[in-house]
Amino acid sequence: MTAPLALGVAGLGTVGAGFLRLLAEQSEVMARRAGRPIQVVAVSARDRMRDRGTDISAFRWHDDPVALAADPAVAVVVELIGGADGVAKTVCETAIANGKPVVTANKALLAIHGADLAKRAEAAKVPLYFEAAVAGGVPIVKALREGLAGNSFRRVFGILNGTSNYILTQMQESGRDFQSVLDEAQGLGYAEADPSFDIDGVDAAHKLAILTSLAFNCPVDFSAVHVEGIRHVSALDIAFARELGYRIKLLAITQATANGIAQRVHPCMIDAESPIAHVDGVFNAVVAEGNFVDRTMFVGRGAGAGPTASAVAADIVDLAAARQAPPFGVPASKFGRFEAAPMDRHRGPYYVRLMVYDRPGVIADIAAVLRDERISIESLIQRGRAAPGQAVPVVMITHETEEAAMVKALEKIGHLATVCERPRMIRIEGL
Ligand SMILES: NC(=O)c1ccc[n+]([C@@H]2O[C@H](COP(=O)([O-])OP(=O)(O)OC[C@H]3O[C@@H](n4cnc5c(N)ncnc54)[C@H](OP(=O)(O)O)[C@@H]3O)[C@@H](O)[C@H]2O)c1
């Protein structure tokens, strides 16, 4: 066997400590697969005294993770601190500038600075690996970059945020509303105290921007992702979805269209019989549609110490075995032009729910607005009669429609005197 690969691990939280535990247990297996031993030589975190659930006394301690990145004893820097800017970025840049390979789980950093980091890594001729940054333990980065490298992709989509999927699953199973399920999820530790990154779709959008670059060999462009979260999905919408044969999922979708690459994260109504509709709870799934492979689906745990450490470990074995690939599949100098498809050109069927006062002529008013925007209705459900002054739901499924027309129509409908709440719209995704 050749000399051990010396790792410096910056960040010893959920993922960092999980990775140290994995190494303690799996080092022989990994050494066999890599053809050389793998050893941690240095670590860094904020609080040296904190119990990490694993013995770190044998490793050199750095208060400053940037100093760890520059430490001559460290051959590979494993960045598990997090955050798009600040110290995590400086750690990665310092490692690259010192000619050291970087392994990171930091999707926020890669979504915002991925193209720049890839250029730096390429110029310094060092690998930059990030299997753990997308879908945790699911090896989708390697699958798109290598396993499916013979394909052109039409669309890649998935459930990329376990917290949102858990909340939607609980809403579906219990019939409860969003806020009560979120409160419970926070109590159980499934949602952060500040859950906005997860429930507002930002975390999924970070991961989607990375998948887009891998699938379409263009620079990562997080700013081009259309992002909506799940705060406005109501128990009523979930019940209607069920009645109509759909499930509601927060999907992240990247797709080649005639207008460019469309990247969007938003709640979708999908066929209740489709395989991804059955990916529930904290699980993640990614479906990649390639022109030769057809459809492939990857399912697994998208977060947590064990699954994420598993992905970090895979990158380390690749590095130790000197298996190299450009971070996003092609050299940064060979990235194609990124043409972002505008969201208002999106086309598809829509679910629309209105709360209306039960008066004669209500439906005629709504129909007139839709006619003016050239939107045709496939089906309409109006339930029950309401007491005077009470509202009833009206649900419509449209034929394929352009987003711009839909947005305009909903704006006008929202101003009708008989419509008493902001209209709710969920895009229906054909899978
Ligand atoms: N958690 C997951 O399931 C998961 C899944 C996929 C990807 N990721 C990504 O993995 C990364 C780490 O996530 P995590 O959940 O492990 O985070 P975490 O539990 O909050 O841990 C962060 C670690 O970074 C250390 N740290 C923070 N600021 C520092 C600084 N200025 N200098 C030195 N150390 C500093 C913290 O030190 P102290 O412990 O001393 O405070 C802590 O050990 C993030 O990029 C995240 O997006 C996480």
With a 6 Å cutoff on the Cβ, whether 219 touches ligand 1 is: no
Q: What is the residue with the minimal CA distance to atom 19 of ligand 1? A: 13
- Sorted by sequence, the CB contacts under 8 Å of residue 16 that are 6+ apart come out as 9, 10, 43, 45, 52, 78, 80
The mean predicted confidence, pLDDT, of the chain is 96
Q: What is the residue with the minimal CA distance to atom 30 of ligand 1? A: 46
Half-sphere exposure of 196 (CA within 13 A, CB side): 1
Q: Where are the domains of the chain?
A: 5-133, 140-301, 346-428
Is the pLDDT reported for residue 257 higher than 70? yes
Confirm if 289 and 224 have CB atoms less than 8 A apart.
no
Would you identify the CATH topology of the domain 346-428? Answer: Alpha-Beta Plaits (3.30.70)
Is the pLDDT reported for residue 133 higher than 70? yes
Return the best residue to mutate from 59, 71, 80 for the ligand 1 pocket (most ligand atoms within 8 A of CB).
Answer: 80
The string of pLDDT tens digits covering residues 320-372 is: 999 999 999 999 989 988 899 999 999 999 999 999 998 888 999 999 999 99
Is the pLDDT reported for residue 269 higher than 80? yes
Q: What number is the average pLDDT over the span 153-177?
A: 97
Question: What does each C-alpha distance from 366 to 312, 415, 417, 423, 430 come to in angstroms?
Answer: 53, 11, 11, 11, 26
Determine the distance separating the centroid of ligand 1 and the alpha carbon of 106, expressed in angstroms.
Answer: 9
Confirm if 291 and 108 have CB atoms less than 8 A apart.
no
Q: What is the pLDDT of residue 337?
A: 86
With a 6 Å cutoff on the Cβ, whether 68 touches ligand 1 is: no
Could you write out the DSSP letters of every residue in 155-190? EEEEE--HHHHHHHHHHHHH---HHHHHHHHHHHTS
Nearest to residue 16, comparing CAs of 132, 118, 129? 132
Q: What is the residue with the minimal CA distance to atom 4 of ligand 1? A: 303
Confidence at 400, pLDDT banded by 50, 70, 90: very high
Sign of CA dihedral 225, 303, 142, 83: positive
The string of pLDDT tens digits covering residues 191-240 is: 898 999 999 999 999 999 999 999 999 999 999 999 999 999 999 999 99
Is the pLDDT reported for residue 182 higher than 80? yes
* Ligand 1 closest atom vs CA 81: 24
Q: What is the pLDDT of residue 1?
A: 55
Confidence at 374, pLDDT banded by 50, 70, 90: very high
Is the pLDDT reported for residue 299 higher than 80? yes
The string of pLDDT tens digits covering residues 50-66 is: 999 999 999 999 999 99
Homologous superfamily in CATH for domain 140-301: Dihydrodipicolinate Reductase; domain 2 (3.30.360.10)
Confidence at 189, pLDDT banded by 50, 70, 90: confident
Place of tokens 């002054």: 389
First to last CA, the chain: 48
Return the best residue to mutate from 50, 52, 71, 81 for the ligand 1 pocket (most ligand atoms within 8 A of CB).
Answer: 81
* Ligand 1 closest atom vs CA 45: 34
- Sorted by sequence, the CB contacts under 8 Å of residue 163 that are 6+ apart come out as 185, 190, 191, 192, 195, 198, 199, 203, 282
Q: Are strands 246-257 and 260-271 parallel, antiparallel or unpaired?
A: antiparallel
Q: Residue 292 region, left (φ>0) first, then alpha (ψ -120 to 50), else beta?
A: alpha
Determine the distance separating the centroid of ligand 1 and the alpha carbon of 174, expressed in angstroms.
Answer: 33
Could you write out the DSSP letters of every residue in 252-313? EEEEEETTEEEEEEEEEEEETTSGGGG--TTEEEEEEEETTTEEEEEEEE-SSHHHHHHHHH
* Ligand 1 closest atom vs CA 15: 16
Residue 384's CB: how many other CB atoms inside 10 A? 8
Instruction: Please state the separation of Cα 287 from the chain's center in Å.
Output: 13
Q: What is the residue with the minimal CA distance to atom 42 of ligand 1? A: 13
CA distance 398 to 422: 18
Q: What is the pLDDT of residue 149?
A: 97
Q: What is the pLDDT of residue 389?
A: 77
Q: What is the pLDDT of residue 390?
A: 86
Which element (helix H / strand E) includes 106?
none
Kindly list the catalytic residues. Answer: 207
Is the pLDDT reported for residue 128 higher than 90? yes
Is the pLDDT reported for residue 6 higher than 80? yes
CA distance 423 to 70: 55
With a 6 Å cutoff on the Cβ, whether 300 touches ligand 1 is: no
Homologous superfamily in CATH for domain 5-133: NAD(P)-binding Rossmann-like Domain (3.40.50.720)
Q: What is the residue with the minimal CA distance to atom 35 of ligand 1? A: 45
Confidence at 190, pLDDT banded by 50, 70, 90: confident
Same fold flag, 140-301 and 346-428: no
Nearest to residue 273, comparing CAs of 227, 242, 240, 318? 242
**Phi, psi at residue 426, to the nearest 5°?**
-130, 130
With a 6 Å cutoff on the Cβ, whether 91 touches ligand 1 is: no
Q: What is the pLDDT of residue 33?
A: 97
Nearest to residue 424, comparing CAs of 274, 303, 269? 269
- The encoded tokens of residue 250 equal 């927060």
Determine the distance separating the centroid of ligand 1 and the alpha carbon of 302, expressed in angstroms.
Answer: 16
CA distance 228 to 205: 9
Is the pLDDT reported for residue 423 higher than 70? yes
Place of tokens 């990649």: 288
Determine the distance separating the centroid of ligand 1 and the alpha carbon of 81, expressed in angstroms.
Answer: 4
Q: What number is the average pLDDT over the span 180-197?
A: 92
Q: Residue type at 428?
A: I
